Structure 1
Amino acid sequence: MDFDLTDEQLQLRDAVARWAERAYTFERRRADIAAGGFDSGVWQALTELGLTGLTVPEVHGGMGQGPVEALVTLQALGNALLLEPLAAAWVAAAMLQHGGGSALQAVWLPRLAAGELVVPALLERRSRHDLGRVACQASADGDHWRLSGRKHVVPAGDQAAAWIVSARAPDGLALFWVERSAAGVHLSPYPLQDGSRAADLVLEATPAQRLPGNGAATLQWGADVGAALACAQAVGVMERALALTVDYLKTRHQFGVPIGSFQALRHRAADMKMALELARGMAVYALLKLTAPEAERRQAVARAKVQVGQSARFIGQQAVQLHGGIGVTDEYAIGHCFKTLTQLELSWGDTSHHLGIVAAGMTEEANVGA
C-alpha cells in the first residue's frame, strides 16, 4: 500500500496550514473563546476554502473528497486548535449520505456544502458513550413525526440550522431531521472545557422528518466516522504540543544551559514523539477502514481510539510537566493543547469505552466461553 500523499493532497494540507497560520492565530483563538467558542467569520472562511463541502459529493456542490483528504485537513486544523465544529458537520453529512434518502440529500447537501451548519444530536445524559441508549421518544402524527426529549452536548448546537436526532420510535431506534425553525425547540448553550461551544437541545412535541435508512446502522456509521475524525484531529493537536515542548526545551535555560541538554528530559521528549507516531499510524488505519464491513470497521475505529486516547493523555501530561508552571496558564498555548486533547478523548466514546469494544472483539475471535 502506498502511504505517500498525492500532489493534490499535499496542496490541500499546505493550503489549510497556511490559512491557519495567517488567519487563525493563537490570539484569534483566545478571542474566539471569549466570544463564546464559535466565530461566524471563521466558519465563513472555512466555507470559502471549500472545507464545509469537502466530503459532500460534487453532484451536490461539494468537493467529493475522501478519508485521506479529511485526515490531512483535520490534522492541520488540529494543529491550529480550531474550535469550530467542522468535524461534526462532516459527520452529519456522512450520516445524511448514508441514510438520509435522495429527497433530503438533494435539498440539504448543497446547503451543507455552502456553509449551513448541521450537526448530530445523539448524546443523552444517561447514555454515557452508548449511543444506542436513547430516551428521546418519537410518536407518529399522521404522515409526520413528533419528538420529545433532551439531547446533551450538541456541538455548537445553538448555531446549527438543523440537527440529526436519534429517538425511540414504536418500531425501534430511528434517526430524524429536525430544523431550527420547528416548533418546540429549546436550546441552552454553554462552553466546554477546551473553549468550544455546545448546547443542550430540548424537544417538546417537535415536528421532525424521519430518515428512511436503517436508523441503527446509520447511527453506528456516524459514530465510527466521528471517532475516526476525532483521532485525526487529535494527531494535529499532539503535533502542536510536541513542537511547543521541544521549542521550550531548546530555549529555557537552567544552570546556564538549555534544559533540553538534560538527558532525562530529552528521553521524555523522545517518548512523546513515539506516542505521536503510534497515534498517527492508528488514525490513518481508522480512516482507511471506514469502507470495511461494519464489524471490521468498528473494531478498527475502536483500536485507533484507544491508542490515540492513550497517546493524547501521555503527550498532554508530559507537555504540561516539561513546561512547568507556565504550562497551566491561559496565556500559553500548551494548556489549550491539553484541554483540547482531553475533550477529543471524550468525544465519540472515551478510551475505556473503546477498550471494551476491542476486548469484546478479541473474546469473540478467541471463542472464549464457547
Structure 2
Amino acid sequence: MDFDFTDDQNALREAVARWVDKGFSFERRHALAKAGGAARAVYTELAELGLTGLAVPESMGGMGFGPVEAMVVMEELGRGLVNAPLVHGALVAPALLAAAPEALQADWLPRIADGSALVVLAHQERAARYQLRRVDTRATRQGEAWVLSGAKSVVPAGDEADAFIVPARLGGAAADESGIGLFLVERDAGGLAVRGYPTQDGARAAELTLASTPAALITDDGFGVLSRAVDIGIAAVCAEGVGLMERLTALTVEYMNTRKQFGVTLASFQALRHRIADVKMQLELARSMSYFASLKLGEPDAARRRAISQAKVQIGQSARYIGQQCVQLHGGIGVTDEYVGSHYFKRLTMLEMQYGDTLHHLGEVSSRMQDSAGVFA
C-alpha cells in the first residue's frame, strides 16, 4: 500500500505549517488561554486559508477534500497547538448537514465554507457516558415546526457558535438507536440558554439548556448520520494528537540535548535514551493508527466503527505514555504554565476524553471482536 502523500497534500501541509510558524506562536496561544480561550478570531484566520471549506462540497463553495487532507491539516494544527474549533465547525458539521434538506444545506454550508458561520455539534448529555444512542432531549412537533426540550453538556466553542446541531428523541426509549432526529438550532432561538466556560486546555465549551426551543429538522433518521460524523471527528482528533505528540517529543529531545547534569547533557545517559526510544515507538504506533482511522472512514459502518475505536484506544494510550514520560524527562519545568510542554500535555489529556475516552473505546472494540481465531470454531 502506498502511504506517500500527493503533491497537493504536501502543499496543503506546507501552507498550514507556514501559517502556524508565522501566525500562531506559543505566546499568542498562551495569551488567548489566559483571556478565557475565545478562538473565533483564530477560526476566521483559518477560514482565510480556506480550511473551513475543507469538507464542504465544491457546489456549496468549499474544496470538497477527503479524510486524508483533513488528517494532514490536523497534524499541523496539532504541532502548532492551535486553539480553534476546526474539527467541530469544518469537519463534523458539514458531515451532519449533508443529510439535511437542500434548502437548509444551501443556507448554511456556504457560510461554513467561508468561515462566516460556526456550527457545532451539541450531543453530549450528562447520563450518556459517551453513548451516542443515549438521548434524553425530546423533540415535539407543533404544527409544521419542531421544538426541543432538554440539555447538552460540554459543547465545544458553544458560546462562540452561531448554531448547533442537536440530536433529540422523536420516539422510543432513551437508549434506542432508532427514534433519534437531528435538528439545527440557531443561537438566537427562543428558549435557548448558553453558559460558556474555559476548559483546562485553554479552549472554551458551554452548557446548553433548551426549553421549547424552535429547531429545523435535518433528518428523522439521525443515528447513522451522527455515528459517521463523530467518527470523522475522532479521526481528526487522532491526527491532531499525532501532531501534538510529535512536537512534544521534539521539545523533549531538544531539552535533553541542552540540559546538563553532572557536567554532561541528559541525552548522554543511556537510561534516558532508552526512555525516549520508547516514546518514539509510541509515537509511531499512534501515527500508524491515525492513518488507519482516516483510511477506514469510507468503509461500511461495522468495519469503520471498529477501526475508529481501535485508533482512539491507541491514541489515548500513546498520549498518556508520551505526555507522562516527556514531563518526567523535563523535570519540574515540565508542569509550569510558562513552559510550552505543559500545554501540549494538557491538550493531550483533554483530547483523550474527546468523543469517548480510552476505556469507552476499548469496550467498543471488545464488543465488535467476532473472530475466534479458530480456537472455538
Instruction: Tell me which interval the TM-score lies in, with the shorter structure as reference length.
Output: over 0.9
- The equivalent residue for 1:291 is 298
SS at match of 2:285: helix
Give secondary structure in 1 for the equivalent of 2:159.
helix
Taking the aligned partners of 1:56 and 1:213, their CA distance within structure 2 comes to 22
Q: Which residue of 2 aligns with 1:330?
A: 337
CA offsets per residue over residues 90-131 of structure 1, 9 Å max, x none?
Answer: 11111111x223221111110100111000000011111112
**Residue type of the partner of 2:119?**
V
Of 249, 253, 263, which aligns to 2:256? 249
Contact 2:93 2:119 survives alignment (8 Å):
yes
Secondary structure (helix, strand or coil) at the match of 1:167 reads strand
What SS is found at the alignment partner of 1:107? helix
Unaligned ranges ≥5, structure 2? 173-178
User: For residue 56 of structure 1, what is the aligned residue in structure 2?
Assistant: 56
Once the two structures are superposed, what CA deviation does each residue of 1:279-326 show, in whole Å capped at 9, x if it has no partner? 001001101100000000000000000111100000000010000100
Q: Distance in 2 between matches of 1:169 and 1:319?
A: 48
Q: Which residue of structure 1 aligns with residue 150 of structure 2?
A: 149
| Alignment of 1:4 onto 2:4 | yes
Q: How does 1:341-360 map to 2 (within 5 A)?
A: 341-360=348-367
Q: Is the 8 A contact 1:37 1:84 kept in 2?
A: no
Residue 235 (structure 1) aligns with: 242
Distance in 2 separating the partners of 1:93 and 1:267: 44
How far 1:67 sits from its partner (Å)?
A: 0.8
Cα distance in 1 between the residues matched to 2:180 and 2:113: 28
Question: How far apart, CA to CA, are the structure 2 residues paired with 1:63 and 1:128?
Answer: 35
Q: Partner of 2:96 in structure 1?
A: 95
The amino acid of 1:78's aligned partner reads G
Report the residue type matching 2:236 in the other structure.
Answer: L
Structure 1 equivalent of residue 108 of structure 2: 108
Aligned-partner Cα distance in 1 for 2:376–2:104: 46
TM value normalised by structure 1: 0.97
Distance 1:235 1:101 in 2: 36
> What is residue 80 of structure 1 aligned with on the other side?
80
Partner Cα distance (1:337, 1:355) in 2: 24
Q: Structure 1, residues 215-246: CA drift from partner, whole Å, max 9, x if none?
A: 11111112211111110110010011101100
State whether residues 100 and 213 of structure 1, in contact with CA within 8 Å, keep that contact through their aligned partners in structure 2: no
How does 1:81-230 map onto structure 2 within 5 Å? Answer: 81-89=81-89, 90-97=91-98, 99-115=99-115, 116-170=117-171, 172-212=179-219, 214-230=221-237
Residue 271 of structure 1, aligned match among 267, 278, 283: 278
Secondary structure at 2:53 match in 1: coil
Q: How far apart, CA to CA, are the structure 1 residues paired with 2:233 and 2:41?
A: 24
How far apart, in 2, do the equivalents of 1:154 and 1:365 lie?
Answer: 37
Q: Is the 8 A contact 2:191 2:210 kept in 1?
A: yes
- Give the RMSD, CA atoms, in angstroms: 1.4
Could you state the TM-score of these two structures normalised by the residue count of structure 2? 0.95
CA shift at 1:38, angstroms? 1.9
Unaligned runs of 5+ in 1: none
2:349 is equivalent to residue 366 of structure 1: no
> What's the secondary structure of 2:219's corresponding residue?
coil
Residue 337 of structure 1 deviates from its aligned partner by 0.7
Number of matched residues?
A: 368
Question: Who is 1:321 aligned against?
Answer: 328
Structure 2 contact 40–160 (Cα < 8 Å) conserved: no
Q: Which residue of 1 aligns with 2:176?
A: none
Distance change >3 Å, CA 244–CA 184, structure 1 → 2: same
Task: Tell me, in whole angstroms, the C-alpha distance in 2 between the residues paired with 1:288 and 1:250.
Answer: 36
Percent identity reads 56
> Could you say what secondary structure the match of 2:140 adopts?
strand
1:238-296 deviations in whole A, cap 9, x for unaligned? 01110110000000000111011100111111111110011001001101100000000
- Which range is displaced more, 292-301 or 169-178? 169-178
- Measured in 2, the distance between the counterparts of 1:278 and 1:40 equals 33
Counterparts of 2:41 and 2:186, CA distance in 1: 23
Aligned to 1:138, the other structure's residue is in SS state strand
2:40–2:84 CA contact under 8 A, matched in 1:
no
Amino acid at match of 2:244: V
Measured in 2, the distance between the counterparts of 1:18 and 1:152 equals 35
Matched residues in 2 for 1:177 and 1:314: separation?
39
Secondary structure of the 2:96 match is helix
Return the offset for 1:369. Answer: 9.6
